[in-house]
Structure 1
Amino acid sequence: MPKRGYHHGNLRQALVDAALELIEAKGPMGFTLSEAAKQAGVTPAAVYRHFDGREDLIAEAAKQGYEIFCDVMEHAYETGQPSALAAFEAVGRAYLAFARKYPGHYISMFESGISVNRSPDLAAVAHRAWGVLERAATDLSVHIPENRRPPASMFSAHIWAMSHGVVELFARNSPGNQSPFPPEDLLESGIGVYLRGLGLIPPDR
């Protein structure tokens, strides 16, 4: 690909797109800025007009990933009604779907070591994503008397961790890890067992 220089199109986004491809292929620490520049068709020096370094580039990929992630989660929550349980389960399935469809973004967000507090914009959008799951958890527990109600932030964190575990072990083709059940079924059954244990859904559900 010929060098096009930093004047062409939207170089910032072209570099993010290049980084996402490299992250998916090589991991977040498996590529250099020079490789990202080459993939985008520009000189390495042009990269520094937009990013301070590789971590800055990965952080932008993570921020864009969280923006997509929020939209996916919020859509799942809204369309998963009419019941609070259905909405909660829909959010869990959306997590798996996002990880499959946007692997480069997912890795940037959760496997790169980039802190969500690296920038105010990244922190804000990550907090928004967390808020969707916590809102779904709050709706699910509203029927329980307040003095016996588990904190929504606690069990939403547990469900997030469960979702992440299913993704890492079974939903992204991790070598050597195969399940006799679809990841969606694993997550849904795990959520059911967990929520019954907390008394959030009846045992005969």
Structure 2
Amino acid sequence: MVGRAKKRGYHHGNLRQALVDAALALIEEKGPTGFTLSEAAKAAGVTPAAVYRHFAGREDLIAEAARQGFEIFADLMEHAYAKGQPSALASLEATGRAYLAFARRFPGHYVAMFESGVSINRTSDLSRVAGRALGVIEKAAGELMTQLPEDKRPPARMVSAHIWALAHGVVELFGRGAPGTKSPFPPEDLLESGIGVYLRGLGLIHGDG
């Protein structure tokens, strides 16, 4: 039944998306380098030759999966940012939580985006949407930095990179259920406390606030 559904999608002109969906499932199962284009074609219910009408190789297929992931990711980040307004701190913390939520809900996309080795500059569309997504964290960080005197204000891009690194590290170590990496604390609590320690160091949070 699954095979028939995939072939029906192909006949309606959805082969490109069927291949992306097949690649996402294979990425979740085998990792970004653990499958071939032939396997993706078989999962989509078409011949290997049909793949090359849409993608020059596996990396191009993964890049499209990453692009679609960044589109979803950007929408989630923008929603989280807006939900935290008008507080710059709440917006920054909300984008961090959205990062964790995205990694859980869209593991195939997440791996294609951040762990496949495919550069976000591989295509102009991928670069554009990745910039939109990651720009949300930078925007929130920039707003928060205005609370500091100019001579003590680190660049917003640097701060956003630190927050991104914290979120990514929590996902990699504790947010994906990898054997041997269980934490006694929920990933959200780890990220929130880590951001809190970082912002206290900058002088943006005082006392228990």
TM-score norm. by structure 2 comes to: 0.94
Query: Which whole-Å CA distance do the structure 1 matches of 2:43 and 2:137 have between them?
Result: 36
Matched residue count: 205
For residues 7 and 71 of structure 2, what CA distance do their matches in structure 1 show?
29
Q: What secondary structure sits across from 2:157 in the alignment? A: helix
Report matched runs for 1:123-202 at 5 Å: 123-202=127-206
**What's the CA shift string for 1:148-190, capped at 9, x where partnerless?**
1111111110110010000000001111101000000000000
- Aligned-residue offset at 1:20: 0.2
Q: In 2, distance between residues paired with 1:70 and 1:50?
A: 25
| Letter aligned with residue 87 of structure 1 | S
- State the one-letter code of the partner of 1:149: R
RMSD: 1.4
Displacement of 1:146: 1.3
Letter in 2 for 1:173: G
Once residues 162 and 199 of structure 1 are traced to their aligned partners in structure 2, the CA distance between those partners, rounded to angstroms, is 18
Q: Structure 1: which 5+ runs fail to align?
A: none
Q: What CA distance in whole angstroms lies between the structure 2 residues aligned with 1:106 and 1:87?
A: 22
Of the three residues 96, 114, 123, the one matched with 1:110 is: 114
Give me the TM-score of the superposition, normalised by structure 1: 0.96
CA deviation digits over 1:9-60, x for unaligned, max 9?
Answer: 3100000000000000000000111111111111110000000010000000
CA distance in 2, matches of 1:91, 1:10: 33
Percent sequence identity is: 75
Unaligned runs of 5+ in 2: none
